[in-house]
Amino acid sequence: MIPLVKSLSQNNKVTFFYTTKRDLPPNLGPNVSYIHINMTVQDEERRDLLGQLQFRETMHSFQISHVFVAGDIILGHIIEHHMEKILEVLNQEWDLVILDELFGMHAHTFAMILNRHQQVPYIVFSTTLMVETTSSNMALSRPWTSKPCMFSPIPEHPQDRFDSQSFYYRTYNFFQNLMEIIWIGHITPLSFTNMREFLGHSFNWMDFYQKSSFSLIDTIDSMIYPMPEGSDTKIIGRHCEKAKKLEGEYLKFVEDPNSKGTIYIAFGSFVLLDMAPENFLKSIFDALEELDEYRIIFSYNGPPRKTKAHIFLTKWAPQKGILSHPKTKAYLTHGGLK
């Protein structure tokens, strides 16, 4: 999303609405303003459920519906505590609304209200892979049996990988996608109580996508699994800004003359390492501590932990700078949506 904002701001005024504790970079563009809500809502029950799914169960595609429901809970928090921010959005004149496909149900709500009352067009930006519910509603779905579903079976040995000619994988994929469409597409919207009260009617995915003017898809997997395109869609992505050179403590750490190279680890903000079982964390750190000939940078959001000097724990890391550094030898990531 940020590269798009930078590009649009060259010739347009852009307002960025975001709900996060983290600050956005200050150099997004010459004409960028912000409407910021520092979210403090904590749905502990749902957070515990996500932790359970991530570390103690095999997650299935339809279970991502919990995050959409959490988005509706956040909308309720905004309505209750930050109505002035909602009015700031709805009472201005806009030429266009661009919103993220995933989870931000407040943005979906704003777009539908502005479209209904002011005829403001909106574009849906899939900043990662589309969930099957979205692609099916937009007639952009791919054969369920020939492409891995979002949450494939956990491999049990090195040769255990997706095979489109395997009856087991074809059947597994079919039912995973079917359950996602039934659950996210038809059952989950029934739980969007805040959207229903604010919109004055129930939310419907098909209606939402039929009224959208255009779709942007920032994906890389179409290079492997061909996907259909329409006149109202554009596949973008496959790009990366030039990385800034490392500096300060990161540069000093990776250029240690005693290091054979750098290993970078980042599981993304969605993985709740503070909810991970101790035996899981112990297994990771026991393995990392044996690699003392390397320098390891771990983007880590778990509980405080003492480590050996060759392990650098940080809540945020200059990822592009680390990955582009010539001493970086390996990157361990969560294999998620992008």
Torsion angle of the four alpha carbons 42, 48, 50, 55, in this order, in degrees rounded to the nearest 10: 140
Q: Do 301 and 154 sit in the same domain of this protein?
A: no
Q: Where are the alpha helices (DSSP H) in 119-215?
A: 132-137, 167-182, 193-199, 205-211
Phi, psi of 207 (to 5 degrees): -60, -40
Is residue 8 scored above 90 in pLDDT? no
Last residue of a domain, one of 207, 236, 265: 236
Per the listing, tokens 């778990």 go with 302
User: Taking all residues of the chain, what is their mean pLDDT, rounded to a whole number?
Assistant: 85
pLDDT of residue 338: 47
Q: Do 256 and 310 sit in the same domain of this protein?
A: yes
Q: What is the pLDDT of residues 174-211, one digit of tens each?
A: 999 999 999 998 999 999 999 999 999 999 999 999 99
Least confident of 12-21, 200-209, 298-307: 12-21
Last residue of a domain, one of 197, 213, 236: 236
Is 109 within 8 Å of 162 (Cβ atoms)? no
User: Domain range spanning residue 260?
Assistant: 248-333
Q: Look up the CATH number of the domain holding residue 299.
A: 3.40.50.2000
Decide if 287 is inside a domain.
Answer: yes
Q: Do 134 and 190 sit in the same domain of this protein?
A: yes
**Structure token digits, residue 77:** 């928090």
State the Cα–Cα distance between residues 73 and 196, nearest whole angstrom: 12
Q: Where are the alpha helices (DSSP H) in the chain?
A: 2-8, 44-56, 65-81, 83-90, 105-118, 132-137, 167-182, 193-199, 205-211, 248-254, 278-289, 319-324
Q: Do 221 and 262 sit in the same domain of this protein?
A: no
Is 305 within 8 Å of 274 (Cβ atoms)? no
With residue 279 as reference, give the H or E element that holds it.
Answer: helix 278-289
Among candidate residues 111, 130, 235, 216, the one with its CA nearest the CA of residue 180: 130
Tally of structural domains, the chain: 2
Last residue of a domain, one of 211, 236, 261: 236
Least confident of 41-50, 59-68, 94-103, 254-263: 41-50
What is the reported pTM?
0.80
Q: What is the pLDDT of residues 141-171, one digit of tens each?
A: 888 888 888 777 777 887 888 888 889 889 9
* Amino acid letter, residue 300: Y
Decide if 152 is inside a domain.
Answer: yes
- Which pLDDT band, with edges at 50, 70 and 90, does 260 fall under? very high
For 237, counting Cβ atoms within 10 Å of its Cβ (0-12 exposed, 13-18 middle, 19+ buried), the class is middle
Is residue 287 scored above 90 in pLDDT? yes
Task: Provide the 10 A C-beta neighbour count for residue 212.
Answer: 19
Q: Do 231 and 264 sit in the same domain of this protein?
A: no
Question: Can you point out the beta strands (E) in 115-162?
Answer: 122-126
Is residue 249 scored above 80 in pLDDT? yes
State the Cα–Cα distance between residues 220 and 252, nearest whole angstrom: 33
pLDDT of residue 123: 94
Q: Do 260 and 132 sit in the same domain of this protein?
A: no
Q: Do 197 and 282 sit in the same domain of this protein?
A: no
Among candidate residues 151, 147, 154, 142, the one with its CA nearest the CA of residue 170: 147
pLDDT of residue 227: 73
Task: Identify the three-state secondary structure at position 321.
Answer: helix
Q: Do 267 and 215 sit in the same domain of this protein?
A: no
Q: Do 143 and 286 sit in the same domain of this protein?
A: no
**Structure token digits, residue 332:** 């361990």
Is residue 47 scored above 70 in pLDDT? no
- Which pLDDT band, with edges at 50, 70 and 90, does 42 fall under? low
Q: What is the pLDDT of residues 61-77, one digit of tens each?
A: 888 888 888 889 889 98
State the Cα–Cα distance between residues 246 and 249, nearest whole angstrom: 9
